[in-house]
Each structure stands twice: as structure tokens, then as C-alpha cells.
Amino acid sequence: MATITLEGNAINTNGDLPSVGSTAPEFSLTKNDLSDVGLADFAGKRKIINIVPSLDTGICATSTEKFNQALNDLDNVVVLVVSADLPFASARFCEAQNIDKAVTLSMIRGKKFAKDYGQLIVDGPLAGLSARAVLVLDADNTVLHAEQVPEIVQEPDYDAALAVLK
């Protein structure tokens, strides 16, 4: 269990992020077109998994935009943005914010992803959503970088995440 904060107030997740050097767990999440995908669908690509509570918040939107922009300078990388948002809301967000490279994925069909990745918030006002975290995986899904953002209203360390891909 990880303890993080929401505006300085302690809240807890159900576990911990996969550690650097471990293999990321397979998952099934829903794309904006309502199809389900997993890590296997991105085989051979390096991955940034940007885990956010909801795209409908400023920090989540900013991190999605920054990682989407970073794809202009990276080869063989996909950004997967995971949230509890409905695919319809994610599609509207992507259109409104010109998110044209990052892939938004929804936990609409279950919280298994958040549980398996140790990111399910188990108490406090955001219980049931995922905490904010960033994982970077190589093409074989080995974790190269893992950041559990300690304060939900804080942005992740973009430079540290992107540095392992350059």
C-alpha cells in the first residue's frame, strides 16, 4: 500500500507500482472506440503509461498534453493514458485538446488495471479512482522508470520519464 496525498491529506492506494526491472502486468482496457486492448496490442513498442484519476482535471490534462507533444521527438514509443473516464469523454477531450498521438484508455469495464498496478485509491474523496503515476516500459514490457506521484495535484517528473527513452 502506498500513502499519497490529496492537497496535503493522506490517502492510500491498494498497493505499489511495479518496480523498475520487473515485467508490467498484462491488462485489458477500453479505447475510445469501445474496443479492448492490452499490452500485447502494443508489442514491440516502448511505452509511457500515464496513469491519471480523470482527464477532466487540469493536471491530468496537462500531463496528457505534454506526453503527447513528447512523441514528436521519440521513435517507437506509444503513450497510453489510463483513467476512469468514459471513452466518450476521453474522445471529446482528445478532440478539444488536439491529442493526436497519445492513446486514451478507460477502466470502464473494471478496476483490475488499477488494482494490478497498485494504483486504486482505497479511501478518501477519490476512492475508486486511480492515483497519479507514470511508468516507462521497454519493447518487452520491462519497467524502465516508475514514478508514484506523491501528491495528486502535482505533475509527474516528465524529464525523468522521458530520459530513459532517449
The phi-psi region of residue 143 (left if phi > 0; otherwise alpha if psi is between -120 and 50; otherwise beta) is beta
DSSP run (H or E) holding 67: helix 58-70
Catalytic pick among 60, 146, 152, 161: 60
Exposed/middle/buried for 123, CB within 10 Å: 0-12, 13-18, 19+?
exposed
Cell 485509491: give the residue. Answer: 121
Contact predicate 13/122, CB 8 Å = yes
Cell 511495479: give the residue. Answer: 18
Of residues 160, 35, 46, the one with CA closest to residue 109: 35
60 is catalytic: yes
Which residues are marked as active site? 60
